[in-house]
Each structure stands twice: as C-alpha cells, then as structure tokens.
Structure 1
C-alpha cells in the first residue's frame, strides 16, 4: 500500500512513525499492508529505485500558486484510516486517495496543516520530493513525469498529528463521569478549512469525493461513529477496528468521526413515502442520556417536515446526533452525524429554560435543514456560503414553526435574526452577501451575521415575493437538479426564475452583490403617496465617507407591500420599486389617514414617513393597537428607534410611540421595546438626563411587570419569553420591586442551594445576575463560584457564569477574567461568552479592555488569528465606548498589533461603532432630555390587547 523503496521500508515507517504506541494495532496494520502488497506484487520492481526525500517545510514557494488548489486533479475516493490515541492526545493515520487527472501536471497539490507527514507514495509513479508549505497550508508532491490526462492515480500518505489544545480538526475532549472520573474522547470539526488538520486532502467544497473510513478505538466501553453505518468490527484485543460503509460523494468539511464511550437512544424517522424510513440516534455522555429525549422527538418531527417540504428523500440510511463536551460552534451539520455543543442538544426541564428549549429546537432544525441544502447540494466556493447558511437560518424558523406553531417563530425571526443584522448592515464595515474570499482567515470570517441572518432575511423576502408554493417548487427543482453537485448563487436563482414571471436574478443581484439596504421615505402627494429610496446608514457622518463602488449605486429593487387604515386587516397590495427608478407613486384617496409599508416586516428595508404620517400611525397604535398585528407593531417600534438613532427622525417619534406599550402584552413588540430601553440606559448612563430617563422607563415597564409576575407558566411558551424579557428590563432599569425579588430569591438559594430553593430555570439568569449585582459580600461571589465549579449541567453552568459577571466589584471581575483563562475552569468554547458577559457589565468593561490589550499576544497565540470568534471579540468589548479618548486607545492598539486575521472587519466595525456612539450622544441626548422634561407617562389599560 505505502510503497517507497520496498515494502520493508513501508513497514518500518509505519511502525516507527504511525503506531509506535499501539503495538497490537501495528501488527494488524502490517498484516493489512502485506495483503495490499500482495495485490500489487507484480509492480514492486518499479519502486526498487524510488527515493523519496524527507518532508520539508517552508514558508512559501516562489512560484505562482495562490490559496486555491489547481484544477489539474480531482479526488474521487479516499480510503481513510485513523487511530486517535485518547491517552496521549495524539493520532496516527494513513490514506489512499484515488485521483482523476484532468490536466497534465507533474505536481500533486493538496492541503495539509499541522500534520507530520511521514511518507508519501504514488502508485506507478516516482516521487521526487514532497514539501509542506506552511503559509498556504499545502502539501506539494513533485513527480518525475507529467501525469496523463484522463488517467487515474493512487496517492498514499502516512501522517500523524496532535489532538490537544484545539477545537478544530481531529481533537480531544474530556468530561467527568458520574463517579467523578475524567473520560477522554475524540471528535472532529472540519468546517470550513480544518479537515486538512486531520488528514491531507483536497480541502475545498467543490472537491467532492466518497470516503471509506476505518477508525481504531479502545475495546470495551468505547466505540466509534462516523457519517455512515458501521459495516464491520475487527476485534484486535486492546483495540477494535470500526469499518464504516463508504459515503456518498461529499465535501471534506462534512467528514466526521467520534471515538467515545457515549450512550445512545434512537427513534425512527418516517419518510411517508418519500424514500425509506431510517433511524435517528442521539449520543451523549452516559449520565446525561436522559436529556436527549426532546432532541429525538423534535429531531424526528422536523426531519419529517423537511422530507415533505423538500420533496426529496433523505440521502443516507441514518442520521445521528451527538452532544460533545467541547465544541467550537453551536453545531455542525456533518452528513449523517451532526455534532452539537451539549447546550444545543441536551434538554432537562430541571435545568433548561424556555429559551434553552427553543434554542435547542432551532439549532436542530438548522443543522437538519443542511442535510439537503448544503450537504446534498453544496456551494462551489465559500463566497457563496450564504446559500448554505442563509437558507438553513430561515428554514430553522419554518421547521420549528411546523412542529410548534404556538411558539410564534415566524415573528421571532423578525426580532432575533432580522433586527440585529440590520444594525450591523447599516455600517460601512459591513460587506455584501456574496464576497470574494481566499485565505483561511477570510473564509473563517465570512461565517458571520451577513451570511446567516441577512442571507436568511433576503431568502425570506424572496419567498414572500414569489409566493410560498412557487418558492418551494423551485427549492425542490434545485435540489433534484444539482444533487451531489456544487452550485453558485446564480444556479439557485435560475430555478426561482423558472417559476416566476419577472427577472428574479436582476432583483436579487441588488441584494447579494452590494452591502447595506435602503430606507424608503414616504410622503403625501397630490393623489396618494410618493416613495423615494436611499441607502440607510446608522451614522449620518458615514454618508460622506461611503464609497460609490456599486454597479447599482446603492439602490435596490425593493419588494414593497403596503396597507392603509381604510382596508380590512388582511388586505395587502404589493409591487416592486426598481433600483433604476427615482420615485414611485401609490395612488390612493385623499382621505387616507395612514399608510404602512413593509407589512409584517417581510422586506429587508426600513421605512420613514413624513411627520403627519408618523403622528397618524402613533394615534392608531394608542387608540387600537390590534389594528396592526404582532409583527407590524414590532416593526414600527424598531424602525422608529433605528431612524431616530440615525438622526433621520426626531427622537420624539419613538418616545411618543412607547405610550401605547401600556396596552401591549405580546412578546415580539415588548422584546423590541425592552431591548431598546436597556440600550438607552447604557447610552445615557453618564448624561444629564439619565435620572429622568430611568424614571420614565421604569414607569413604562411597571404595569406589564406587575402583570407577568415571577411565576413561570409551563404551558405558555410566548408568555414565558415575555416574562423573561420584562423582568430583565425591569431589573436592569432598577425597578425596586424587581431588584428586591431577585435579591430575595438569590439569597435564599445561596444560603441553602437545594433543588427546592433554586429558582425556576426561566428565572435563574435574572436571579443570579441581579442577586449578585446587589451583593456586597465577597463570600457570596465565592459561594457562587464554588457552585459554578461543581455544576455538571452545561446549560446551568452558563447561567451561573452569567451570574458571576454581575458583581459590582472590579477586582472580583478581574479575578474572574484571570480564572477564565484556565480551561479547567472555563472551557475554551465558553471563554468568549464569559468575556462578553464581564464586558457588558459597566464595571467590568474597562477591566476587560485593559486585560485584552495587555494579554493580546497570549490570547492570539492561544486562539489563533483565524478564529472568527476571537476576531469578533474586539467589537463586542468596545461596543459601548463613546469618547474620543477610547477611540484613540483603540487606534493605538491597532497600530501596536496590526495583524488582525479573521478579525479585520471586526476592527473596522469597532472604530465605526465608537464614532457612531460619539455622534449619537451629540445628536440625541439633548433631544431625549428635552422630551422627558416635558412629558408625563400616558399609560392606560383601555383597549389592552
């Protein structure tokens, strides 16, 4: 199999470099090698004079090879053999890759990174040398002669690597058993560019191939799972070989193996005539197996929904799910074996809140949606990642809604996905949905809110434009036409184009090829209303800096929907405002009191009205808010505040609009209001009108606070979501009763932390954080930290970690920050969340900022500049900075450490946000203070929803 000069050299190389620590496996592998050699014995003579040079490493070749692989060779099939050594944290492996030659070349160039490649051979070919090029993560193999076009070759490689101190590639994870023993496992995380850290491969999404995988694992309680079903187990004594069925054709980033002692439960997914029924199995640490029941029940239900929606059979014969103790993302959609953080899969009503349950369902729905859209049909290159992630983001809301229609997920898309990305996309540091990327850092960085949330929002808008039935038909046609292949954005839009009677591609280009979005300005005309559009930027000073680099001049073809006061509630008219038209007119009778555009906020744009129309909309909200549905009330609040923040609307408009909130009892509008009330509190904290603002905001929240109370309703999902939103706002704003209730519950539990005294899961974050906030005792923090250290449930541990960040003592927060750098205290996967929690505390913000700057070399060495979560940390730490001094500190930090990696955009965002905050205070703080000084709080219970 692995031929160099003769088979003895291969055996020696294997014994020394591959399986030095596992003698049983070595013996078996030598036997396998001899069997392979017998199959090619007649060709041995060809290799007698072969002289492969030792592996070299260099920073960069001088020839013109960029980050992309050449197109001369295409992989067809991998035979992969891995042995992860759970005790040493290392792994060894070997592979044979069958490769088709499509262009003449004397080099085989593929990816390899952080691997020790110990031997390379090419069957029937003479290898001159092989070189590991570090910067571009390439393994370059040079042959004596060109390969013949149309032929196939077999490349063999021996390699080994390290599994510790990382969360990508093939890596180690640990957990404590119920008895307190440490148990080691290994797992994989390959997306986007980390397969090359586990095996040399053609690590680009278009380089699809089939994979025959064999994994060695300890005999006994340990086992291995992979993308496909187990086909054979070979008992080797101390070790066992797990041999899996060959996969379907797929990209390298979808390959997965897990070696663990996990336990599992299973259920059956009913295909209902679209393909065959198949098994869904969920794996978890043995003592947490009882927590997979919800995931199995929901996972099967949402999968059955997708089978019907896509109208395409599930392509594999099983779909496993596994909860991994250490995991860099929420989850990863490996084909047939989806991996999750424990918090994203495991549900226990004793620990999990309503939000936890919803989040688990959302993550499962997202990853399972990928099994078709992303896995079956995959983007050709990472610049089209939005085809994967944007579609799955939108589908997760549709999927959860299909199973739990009473959760209001379609409206929650608006507040959880749409509203946040519109904040980001209103900055010059944003980027188009489709953006050219090349380096690993650029590829990692593009997995951001634009690809996910904006991608999903634009797909949602497109579906509303063409109609759900036609859109579903186009999706099915797309999946059938391109199954097991790779596509670009144009391929998907072509299928949508075929089911419509207008130019979908041109319309969508205005949304995918230029960043940002428009604000539509609406005014009364002689016979109706006039509409114009302009790019919306959150900082008015940005308009002078904005480049004019778009083919469409930052204008969009906008799908407009509208309704008016004189129509029935369900009557909606629509049209497309083309990017190349200056003004659109809507002809209506002169007695129309108000018009509302972007009905249900299904469009990705903002709407600004002339003052008289805003006045009419506010009067309607106060008089009879139910005239607008939940989504429209949330939309009006969000647009009004965003426009005022951007100095495009007087702040009196959104403030006067809040008067209707005394009648509001739905979650989505109150979520918008509560988040804005908390944000204003932070923005105005050091300004003259702060006390007046707190008085107003507390009065605004008080009536609904009294009504929702502190008792959790087990049977009302949205009321529970509303309760948490209101309690969080009330405590943040300092409503005395809210803080008293939190402190009382916190102290009762902390003094006697029994299950009976512990707050309901929905209330724990609020009680832990604001209870800790009001404590002046260091011993209380120490007690809470001890409980954090003892806790084994991942969901509860995050709640306790959040509570620890609430203390108002800078020294304790600094101590916590230092402790968090110890992975035995805060797992790497949770480190960034911990830092953000501390930075979100006004007392902790300067602590984190000083620590981050001082520890930058150590942090960048630990996480690496290609880590997108580390890259985004700078913008999250500095998001509340609002002074020239802080801006200069940031710029000095950039000058000292210019290398940004995947954080390049985050650095731009941080600067832009500080400039925006400075401008916001200049433009708005005085107006808000003036309005507050001249108003009372007009709350009423009449017409309450």
Structure 2
C-alpha cells in the first residue's frame, strides 16, 4: 500500500463493513424510492398514455458563479495518487433486491493554488459521515495541520462532492482526502455496473466497468478529467472462487474474514500515471487462455464455456503480433507488463481501451469458426488493433480535454487497418477504410448540420456534450483526414513525427497542435515539399466542417473546389474560418498511368496536365486517399463510363467503387443527373469485385428507402435482378453450387452480396435456397448454412415465413452463443408480419429478452424493414421518455437510434411528425442524439425534394434499362 492509505487493511475492511451494515438497507431503500418516484413521473414502458401529475412550475434559474455550479474542475488541486478499495456484491440485497458495492478511497493531491474549497467528482454515490458529521476527512501530508471541514455535500447537477474548509490549504503542500461510500451496482452499462448471463442453467453476475468518458465518478470520488492523471492503487474484495482483475498486475491475494464470511482480497500493483477514464476493475467467474510474448503476459478472459470452446484462441493468437506491430510503428515498447482482454455479455461500446485491461463485447473478441463469419473475424482483428493502438496514442499520451477526442479516436480508427493488415496480410483490409469510414462519414459530413472535427474547449463542458462527440465525425472523418495526412507526408515522415510526439509527452497530456508541431519537425528534417505548413494545411480540414467536391474540366485543365452539400439549398449557419475552402492534395491517373501529385490551394486553378486529348480519361483521388469527392466534365464522364463497359479493369478496384459512390452523391446534390449516376451501375453485369459492388449496394439502399413504398419499386427490382444474376451464378459456379467457400476474403464478402441482392430482388432460386436451408435446420436441428451466409439466409427465410420460423429463430437466439445470437437478432427483424414486429419491439425494453446493449440497434433493424418502419417510429415516440431515462442520456447509441428510425422519412407528414417529436421531448432531452434530431429533419427535407425532382425520371430509367 502507498503512504497515502493511512489505515491498515484489516481496520479499513472492518470499518468498511461496519459502515455498510448500518447503511446498506437505508441506501437501498432510498434508491428504490427515487426509482419509483421517477417511474410515477414518466410514461410507463408499456403504456403510451400519460399519468396524472401536477403541472411543472417553470422558473428561470439565477446564474451562479459558484465553482460547484461549473462543470470544469478548478486548477487549484492536482492529484498524485489514489488508494481505492471496492467490494461489489454479486448477489442482490435480500430486502431490496438491489445490487450494491461499497468502498473507501483516499486521494493525495498537491495544492497548486491557495484555496478553501475541494471539488471532486462524484455521481450517484452515498457517503458515510465521519465522527464530525462530514462526508470526507482531510489530512495534511506536509507536517502542518489541515484546515478543518466547514461543510460537505453532494452536488448532483454538476456531479461533485463539495467540501468547504474553515481555512485555506497552502500552495505547494500535499493533502489527503478520505471517503467511505456506497453505490448501486446497476445494469446501466456505465461506471461500476453489473452484467448478467446464464451458464449451465445458473445465473452468473459480473461486476465490471465502463468509465469513458465521465463515469469513473460513479465508482469512487475522483478528479475525473483526462488531464488529471494520477497513480492508482486498487484493492478488490470479492467472493472466493471469483477472479478479480484491474489495470495493474496482481500484487497479492489472500483470504480475509469479514463478520464470519470468508472473502478474497486482491491487491494490485500501482498503475502507471494515467487518466481516470482508463480505469477498469472486474470481478467475475471467468476463465482465460494466456501466452507470453516479448515479456508481455497476454490473457483472454471470457465465460468458462467460451474459453472451453476455444473462442479466445484467435484473439490470443493475434494480440501478440499486433502489439509487436505497434511497438515498431511507434518505436516504443509496450509500457505495461500485461495485456488483459475480456469479453463481456453486457457492454455498450464495441470495446474500451482501459490500460492493461481492455473490455469488449463478446462478439468483438470471441471467434468460433463454427459460428463466426469472415466479417466477425475481421471485426475482431480490427477492434483489437484499434484498442491496442490506444495503449500508446490515448493512454500513454492523452489529450488534454474531450474537445480533441477526434484525434484520439480518429487515429485509432485509421491505424486499426494497419495493425489488422499486419496480422492478416492476405485480407487486403487496408482498402476497406474507404467503404467503412470515408464513404460512411461523407453521408453525415455533407449535411449543413454537421460539425468541425475540433470543438472549442469552452463549448464542451457537460457530460452530455462530451458524449455527443463520440460520433462518426470523430471516428471516421478523423481516420480519413489522418490517412490523407499520412499519405501526402509519406508514412515514413508521418511515423517519425508520431514517434517524437509520443516520446515527448509520454505519461502526460497534449493537444492536436502538439502533434502538428512534431510532424512539421519530421517534414523539415526530411525536406519534404508541401504547399504550406502541416498546421495550416490540416486546419482547413479540422477547423471547418464538411469537405469539398473537386471539379475537373479535362477540356481545359481547370480545377475548382466547392463545399459539398447533399442538399445544395440547405442553409449553412456554421461560420468557417476558411470560407469553406481547403488545401487539397490531388493524386490522379491519366488513362491508367499515375501522374505527379498536385495541390489545389485556392477556390480554382488551372492544372494543364489534366487536360486530355483523344480517348484519354482522368480519374482523380487515386485510392480515395483524399477526403473529397470528384466531379468531371461530361466528356470525361462519358469516357469513364465507356471504359467501365468495355474494360473496367483498366480502372483500379478502389476507384471503380469511388466512381459509383461519387456519382450517386453528386446526383443527390444536383451536380449531375440521377440517371447519369444510375448509368454507373450498368457495367456491374461484368463486375465480380467486392468494393464496387458494395459501393453500389450501399447507394442503392437509398433508392430502396425512398421507393420501396412507391410504384418505382417493381421496375427497380427488375433492373437490379438483371445486374446481380451474373454475380449470383458466378459464385454458384465457383462454390460448386454453394458447397464450398470462396478463397479470398473479399470474395467471401461479395458472395454474401450476390445472395443478399438476388434474394432481395425476388430471384426465386435464391429465395428457394434460403428457405430450403432454413427448413433443413428446423427439421434436422443440424444447421447446413455456412456462418458467412447465415445473416442473409436467416433474414430471407424469416421474411418468407411466418410465426413458426420466427419462433424457431427466437428459441435458437435464446440458446446460442453471442456470435450466433447477433445474426439471429438481426434476422428476427426481417419478418413481414406486423404483429411479430410489434412483439419484437416490446421485447427490446425487457433486458431479460434483449440485452440493454442491443436494444437500440434492434429497434433500428426493425425500422430498416419497410413494414417495421412506422411501427418502430411509433414505438420510439410513445416511449421516448422511458427509453431515454432507462437507457441512459449519455448512451452513444442514441444518435444511431434516431437516425435509424427516421432514415426513410420523405414526406411532409413525416417531417411534421419529426418536428413535433423534437418539440414534445424538449424537456426530456435527446442526450448524445441531440444533433441527430436536427440531422434527421435536414435529411427528411432533402429526401422530399429529391423524390419530387427524380421520381419520374428514375422510374423511366429503370424501365428502359431493364432487358426485355
């Protein structure tokens, strides 16, 4: 134990238990009371009506300058280290039914500025008063007496424990604050929480954590800001036979006796200096597999049944090589002695980069070739790489404040492809960033309601504002612009700057301009020619929202840029410091020959090399390394379409995908005609590569959303069926009538596209295949469907069937591992029976039927079904208050939920409903989905205009283009 912990283990534990014995029942009852009160003031989860309640009295709050009414900590206190002991109860209180944890914590800090006030973050903790009636005890570590406590109280609004002193603490002196507390080990997926699963008919409970961004304060009082780094000494008390884990290595574990109960006490070695949001502590009944590589102990923890089935082996095999890759990439040894990774049944995010103890959803870590598809396997490799990348970038060097979250998450989202590629070089996974991140985020960043990558620090204060930053802009746009930066600097220069940045700020904090400085140093040392400084170039991409469309006139060589908006008539109210101009790197090809990179530094310029003659054509943005779209003069478009139809392989695969995606989105923005975009799909009759097909399918999804309730639907189905049949037959042939699996990673993906689109367009052979496979499974209980094909086959079979098929799948869902259950959970949303969909929606609000982590995505799956769309929307509207309260205002998935249930909106009626939804729930709020509401309104308006302008032309085109 460190010197800051001033009582012995035995005394501390007994004190902890005695305080709990007196308080736990009172606290538990008070929690129940507050829950019941909240329920009485809200709409019931099963009743769309309202309850009788007194009218709210609205008053204007008086502005306060008190420090405890502000959301940021003052700079007066700097933590050095904590000693935290926690005892989670893995069984409910017999009287109240609540799960609780008890704890005590001491934090030693230095007084940086003379003050008579201690503010420390605390949320939903109940404190034990000391002998003087205060919620905390203050001790001086510098020899002189500490000021006595005048008053102490919790401040729930700003999530503080406030401690007022009778005198001032002295600058430069050190003090220690001690507290005892109780909290609920709730199932809210935040802070210190519980996860529940069944194993061999027995209910098992895991006590686990998710601290990012602002929930460490739910586990113990702490200075819960990323710049307030400290060393943590963690002790866990837990039942015998359970396993305790934390960030640090286990120091000692022994049996202790508390009031006649034999318990285990595990003490961990102190952590490195780190931020509170990276803390983790877990108590479980798990097993593990392990290996030691380069002196680092690697362990994969999961349910005993999953470990016994070998589901942790793939992650174990890949973690070591990926760690080694990043050690080389960063030129820095992994800074910890161990790397634990654990699969949790209930986990809101995909994974979390806790230093030394990374937490995952089960589907993001566990692999079983009997159930896992190649996309499951890729997800595991890329997520492991993402989290291990953070061990240095984010954990070793941490951003000072959350406004720079984009750099942390964008960087990991970029280099995850590099780490996964090193682990699985045959996959060619690096190319997939174009589909998964660049094209994905273009759709959001082309809205007038988008936002810049970097926010002003003063604009990000409240926890809800912080949570809202965890969006596609931070992750996918961040990844896209960093990939562009690495490309134009060259990877050698990029990594050199990165390495010196990490070396300078190790175990400390930085902001994104610090990285620009180090990259500039590498540029200068390498004498790399750039049109401006790294900072000035990147500011145009970081400090203004959106991206440009670069237009190239190959008849003259004229090149220009303009802010790309999906709805060109939308009103952009966000001011730009660069007037929506960017410094644009242009890599390009002329008739298959790579040309010298060019830069567009102003709104327009002439690049004479881009002028063409004869049959020459130009494709700009080679490999889609630039974060922009490209348009051409009509003659160049015609030559490109001719090339696609005659010899499409002259244009490389990524850029074939780009031409399709750019064309459809340029048409959405009224820059080219929609029928011209549709012309890019004609050549697909000869295309067998995954990326162009996936690009086409993704864009045609928009046509399904807009037209699957109109007369365009039939002709569209006929045309798309004519395009996909050659691909369907191609895979039928190379797999010997579906008996084998294609060799290549991308081919396995495209086989799924072939079957999915053929069935979706009503091709009878495909639908017969899906239903016969599913029936064989129902009849024999032996599943004949390859894991790669299960999601799409299950979906189509359930869509073609009725209650019998749905109930069979539901029974399998309830008795499957997480990997298989995820496929079934999606497929259950495909039924065409409204009553089954309504029943399924009701299941989403029962955590015993659909886990909380899966509730919002399940509702979105149902909304994606044309029959389920209105049902899901009505369901969300009627129960928004309950969903928002029960599923957490800070949930990262709220933006996905709102976008998902409104994606098909394209009528005036739906627009008015959406606006009414926003008004009706203004008092409840939308948390991390706040921006998504405005984006949905903007998208609905754009959809309405697009249909009005395009419906008849699109209908005619599909009819004319379909072979008779």
TM-score between both structures, scaled by the size of structure 1: 0.90
Whether the 8 Å CA contact 1:677–1:729 is kept in 2: the answer is no
2:719 alignment partner, one of 696, 699, 704: 696
Give me the whole-angstrom Cα distance separating, in 1, the residues matched to 2:949 and 2:608.
33
Give me the whole-angstrom Cα distance separating, in 1, the residues matched to 2:589 and 2:281.
53
Structure 2 residue 107 is matched with structure 1 residue 68: no
Structure 2 residue 924 is matched with structure 1 residue 868: no
Shift in alpha-carbon separation, 1:581–1:718, aligned structure 2, 3 A = closer
SS in structure 2 of the partner of residue 868 of structure 1: coil
Instruction: Tell me what 2:475 maps to.
Output: 452
The structural deviation recorded for 1:923 is 2.1
Give me the whole-angstrom Cα distance separating, in 1, the residues matched to 2:264 and 2:381.
35
Structure 2 residue 366 is matched with structure 1 residue 346: yes
Structure 2 residue 389 is matched with structure 1 residue 373: no
Compute the RMSD of aligned alpha carbons. Answer: 2.2
Instruction: Tell me what 2:171 maps to.
Output: 149
Whether the 8 Å CA contact 1:432–1:513 is kept in 2: the answer is yes
Q: Which runs of structure 2 are paired with 1:398-413 in the superposition (5 Å)?
A: 398-413=418-433
Shift in alpha-carbon separation, 1:59–1:445, aligned structure 2, 3 A = farther
Whether the 8 Å CA contact 1:742–1:771 is kept in 2: the answer is yes
Structure 2 residue 710 is matched with structure 1 residue 687: yes
Structure 2 residue 285 is matched with structure 1 residue 285: no
Structure 2 residue 473 is matched with structure 1 residue 473: no
SS in structure 2 of the partner of residue 499 of structure 1: helix
Structure 2 residue 93 is matched with structure 1 residue 93: no
Instruction: Tell me what 1:38 maps to.
Output: none
1:531 alignment partner, one of 559, 562, 568: 559
The structural deviation recorded for 1:861 is 1.9
The structural deviation recorded for 1:428 is 1.3
Instruction: Tell me what 2:317 maps to.
Output: 297
Give me the whole-angstrom Cα distance separating, in 2, the residues matched to 1:906 and 1:744.
41
Give me the whole-angstrom Cα distance separating, in 1, the residues matched to 2:177 and 2:784.
60
The structural deviation recorded for 1:3 is 12
Structure 2 residue 540 is matched with structure 1 residue 519: no
Shift in alpha-carbon separation, 1:616–1:62, aligned structure 2, 3 A = same
Structure 2 residue 227 is matched with structure 1 residue 206: yes
Structure 2 residue 918 is matched with structure 1 residue 890: no
Q: Which runs of structure 2 are paired with 1:641-660 in the superposition (5 Å)?
A: 641-660=664-683
Structure 2 residue 119 is matched with structure 1 residue 109: yes
Structure 2 residue 810 is matched with structure 1 residue 785: yes
Shift in alpha-carbon separation, 1:265–1:594, aligned structure 2, 3 A = same
Instruction: Tell me what 1:490 maps to.
Output: 513
Whether the 8 Å CA contact 1:173–1:185 is kept in 2: the answer is yes
Give me the whole-angstrom Cα distance separating, in 2, the residues matched to 1:552 and 1:800.
48
Instruction: Tell me what 2:53 maps to.
Output: none
Give me the whole-angstrom Cα distance separating, in 1, the residues matched to 2:648 and 2:469.
40
The structural deviation recorded for 1:687 is 3.2
Number of residue pairs matched? 882
Q: Which runs of structure 2 are paired with 1:313-328 in the superposition (5 Å)?
A: 313-328=333-348
Structure 2 residue 536 is matched with structure 1 residue 506: yes
Whether the 8 Å CA contact 1:681–1:694 is kept in 2: the answer is no
Instruction: Tell me what 2:96 maps to.
Output: none
Shift in alpha-carbon separation, 1:8–1:260, aligned structure 2, 3 A = closer
Give me the whole-angstrom Cα distance separating, in 2, the residues matched to 1:71 and 1:156.
20
Shift in alpha-carbon separation, 1:2–1:606, aligned structure 2, 3 A = closer
Give me the whole-angstrom Cα distance separating, in 2, the residues matched to 1:794 and 1:240.
30
SS in structure 2 of the partner of residue 108 of structure 1: strand
Instruction: Tell me what 1:930 maps to.
Output: 956
1:217 alignment partner, one of 217, 238, 245: 238
Q: Which runs of structure 2 are paired with 1:808-819 in the superposition (5 Å)?
A: 808-819=832-843
TM-score between both structures, scaled by the size of structure 2: 0.89
The structural deviation recorded for 1:439 is 0.7
Shift in alpha-carbon separation, 1:59–1:291, aligned structure 2, 3 A = farther
Shift in alpha-carbon separation, 1:307–1:121, aligned structure 2, 3 A = same
Give me the whole-angstrom Cα distance separating, in 1, the residues matched to 2:574 and 2:280.
44
The structural deviation recorded for 1:877 is 0.4
Unaligned residue ranges in structure 1 (runs of 5+): 24-57, 271-276, 939-945
Whether the 8 Å CA contact 1:206–1:381 is kept in 2: the answer is yes
Deviates more, 1:726-735 or 1:382-391: 726-735
2:856 alignment partner, one of 804, 828, 832: 832
Shift in alpha-carbon separation, 1:585–1:132, aligned structure 2, 3 A = same
1:851 alignment partner, one of 871, 875, 883: 875
The structural deviation recorded for 1:785 is 1.6
The structural deviation recorded for 1:481 is 1.0
Whether the 8 Å CA contact 1:430–1:515 is kept in 2: the answer is yes
The structural deviation recorded for 1:9 is 13
Shift in alpha-carbon separation, 1:778–1:428, aligned structure 2, 3 A = same
Whether the 8 Å CA contact 1:59–1:135 is kept in 2: the answer is no
Provide Cα deviations, 1:125-178, integer angstroms capped at 9, x if missing partner.
31111121111111111111111111111111111100123111001112222x
Whether the 8 Å CA contact 2:610–2:618 is kept in 1: the answer is no
Give me the whole-angstrom Cα distance separating, in 2, the residues matched to 1:572 and 1:499.
25
Give me the whole-angstrom Cα distance separating, in 1, the residues matched to 2:933 and 2:376.
31
Instruction: Tell me what 2:95 maps to.
Output: none
Shift in alpha-carbon separation, 1:8–1:779, aligned structure 2, 3 A = closer
The structural deviation recorded for 1:681 is 2.6
Deviates more, 1:778-787 or 1:280-289: 778-787
The structural deviation recorded for 1:121 is 0.6
Give me the whole-angstrom Cα distance separating, in 2, the residues matched to 1:900 and 1:677.
30
Structure 2 residue 590 is matched with structure 1 residue 564: yes
Deviates more, 1:645-654 or 1:253-262: 645-654
SS in structure 2 of the partner of residue 929 of structure 1: helix
Provide Cα deviations, 1:263-286, integer angstroms capped at 9, x if missing partner.
11111223xxxxxx2111111111
Deviates more, 1:553-562 or 1:675-684: 675-684
The structural deviation recorded for 1:396 is 0.6
Instruction: Tell me what 1:671 maps to.
Output: 694
Structure 2 residue 252 is matched with structure 1 residue 249: no
Instruction: Tell me what 2:50 maps to.
Output: none
Q: Which runs of structure 2 are paired with 1:264-275 in the superposition (5 Å)?
A: 264-270=288-294
Shift in alpha-carbon separation, 1:480–1:936, aligned structure 2, 3 A = same
Give me the whole-angstrom Cα distance separating, in 1, the residues matched to 2:642 and 2:373.
37
Instruction: Tell me what 1:45 maps to.
Output: none
Shift in alpha-carbon separation, 1:894–1:148, aligned structure 2, 3 A = same
The structural deviation recorded for 1:2 is 11
Instruction: Tell me what 1:132 maps to.
Output: 154
The structural deviation recorded for 1:737 is 1.6
Whether the 8 Å CA contact 1:577–1:584 is kept in 2: the answer is no
Q: Which runs of structure 2 are paired with 1:692-841 in the superposition (5 Å)?
A: 692-709=715-732, 710-713=738-741, 715-754=743-782, 757-775=783-801, 777-791=802-816, 793-841=817-865
The structural deviation recorded for 1:62 is 5.8
Shift in alpha-carbon separation, 1:933–1:800, aligned structure 2, 3 A = closer
Give me the whole-angstrom Cα distance separating, in 2, the residues matched to 1:548 and 1:764.
45
The structural deviation recorded for 1:22 is 11
Give me the whole-angstrom Cα distance separating, in 2, the residues matched to 1:302 and 1:516.
33
Provide Cα deviations, 1:779-835, integer angstroms capped at 9, x if missing partner.
3322222222222x0011111111211111111100111122111111101111211
Whether the 8 Å CA contact 2:447–2:566 is kept in 1: the answer is yes
Unaligned residue ranges in structure 2 (runs of 5+): 26-60, 93-98, 129-134, 140-145, 733-737
The structural deviation recorded for 1:934 is 3.3
Shift in alpha-carbon separation, 1:234–1:646, aligned structure 2, 3 A = same
The structural deviation recorded for 1:472 is 1.0
Deviates more, 1:139-148 or 1:864-873: 864-873
Structure 2 residue 284 is matched with structure 1 residue 260: yes
Structure 2 residue 918 is matched with structure 1 residue 908: no
Give me the whole-angstrom Cα distance separating, in 1, the residues matched to 2:64 and 2:244.
39
Deviates more, 1:580-589 or 1:101-110: 580-589
Give me the whole-angstrom Cα distance separating, in 1, the residues matched to 2:90 and 2:219.
15
Whether the 8 Å CA contact 1:60–1:133 is kept in 2: the answer is no
SS in structure 2 of the partner of residue 805 of structure 1: helix
